[in-house]
Amino acid sequence: MDLQQSYNVVKRSIVAFVPKYIPLRKKDDPPPAFPPIFGTGFIVKEDGLIATNDHVVEVIRKLFKPPDAPEEDWPVFTMFFELTEKGLLEIPLQVLGVFRIGHFERGPIYYGPRIPDIAFVHVKARGLPTLQVDDSTLLEEGLEVATAGFPMGTDALTAPGWLHQITPTLEKGIISALLPFSCPTPHAFTINIMTHGGASGSPVFLPDTGKVVGVLYAALNDIEHTFRKDIYRVPTNISYVVPHHFIVKSLQNIEGNPDFVLPEDTKSIDELIETREIVSRFEKRTMYEVTEVKELSKLERRVEKMNLEEKEENTGTYNTA
């Protein structure tokens, strides 16, 4: 199998996370041509389990939610894409819950993060196309890998000023380094692929099999200065990946979790596809509930900016993807 063949299988299992409720600054503002993508995920269980990053789940928890929305309502859609003879279907899957690492035992010698940046989102659907996690392949420097997701989120899809793309973006590279050094169970590895926000949670897979060996979670940025000495970030082609063994271990724990069940009225993905029609995106966008909110004051914008800056993990040189 070559990359073209494996990617035709892989991309069916890649999903995008978008807000369920889109606040507008002004009452007369039109809805966006496509809802803002803030993260990527990939399906690992046919009964609705999707792998992504823990920091993507943290974003989900902080999304805008109208005061009158039901308490059990998650303010997010998991957008599933299916290419048919008539065109591309977009199916927003309802989120039922999330699974995060609650307890992580580190060995006596450990150089990684407090917990691996991995989490899982459970959606209401059966029979989803899945990706297989390959934990038998030895991770080595120079091993060819590929990844696909939504780098730059919706900005990449609307780059010329209008919606001109509704697909993930495929990239290929190699494993550049194992962290902290070559060993059977590294806490992370790097790949020589440039990434941007929105690609968090993308699968990293083997081009010849399509099997997953990791989850993309961060990128390393350089720092430069303008003539006025203003600091700005420059992306590099060093990106960080959660290795396959963390995925496998997490899935083993989830399978025995009593919360990992689907409601009786859950439909299969084939049933959802059969009941949907191809509609122009500019007509279809009204399906996303739009809620008017007041414009932020200068003080509120300043506080919001400070909160974002505090989330950076290493003085602005290490950004989650």
Least confident of 1-5, 57-61, 234-238, 241-245: 234-238
In the chain, what are the domain boundaries?
3-320
CA distances from 212 to 109, 113, 135, 175, 255 (A): 27, 21, 8, 13, 19
CA distances from 138 to 134, 153, 170 (A): 10, 32, 23
Contact yes or no for 38/59 (Cβ under 8 A): yes
DSSP-assigned letter for residue 271: H
Confidence at residue 186, expressed as pLDDT on a 0 to 100 scale: 95
| CATH number of the domain located at residue range(s) 3-320 in this protein | 2.40.10.120
Buried b (16+ CB within 10 A) or exposed e, 75-88: bbbbbbbbeeeeee
Instruction: Please check the confidence at residue 170 and state whether its pLDDT lies above 80.
Output: yes
CA distance 266 to 155: 33
Which two tokens mark 266? Answer: 């859950």
Percentage of the chain beyond pLDDT 90 is 64
The CB-side HSE value for 139 (13 A sphere, CA atoms) comes to 30
- Rank 1-10, 79-88, 252-261, 299-308 by mean pLDDT and report only the highest: 1-10
Q: What pTM does this model have?
A: 0.85
Instruction: Please check the confidence at residue 319 and state whether its pLDDT lies above 60.
Output: no
Q: What value does the mean pLDDT of the chain take?
A: 87
Confidence at residue 198, expressed as pLDDT on a 0 to 100 scale: 96
Instruction: Please check the confidence at residue 293 and state whether its pLDDT lies above 50.
Output: no
pLDDT tens for 20-42 read 998 777 777 777 888 999 999 99
Instruction: Please check the confidence at residue 95 and state whether its pLDDT lies above 70.
Output: yes
Contact yes or no for 264/246 (Cβ under 8 A): no
Instruction: Please check the confidence at residue 314 and state whether its pLDDT lies above 50.
Output: no
Distance of CA 300 to the CA centre of its chain: 28
Which two tokens mark 194? Answer: 């440039």
CA triple 263-268-270, angle to 5 deg: 165
Distance of CA 103 to the CA centre of its chain: 22
Q: Where are the alpha helices (DSSP H) in 127-210?
A: 154-157
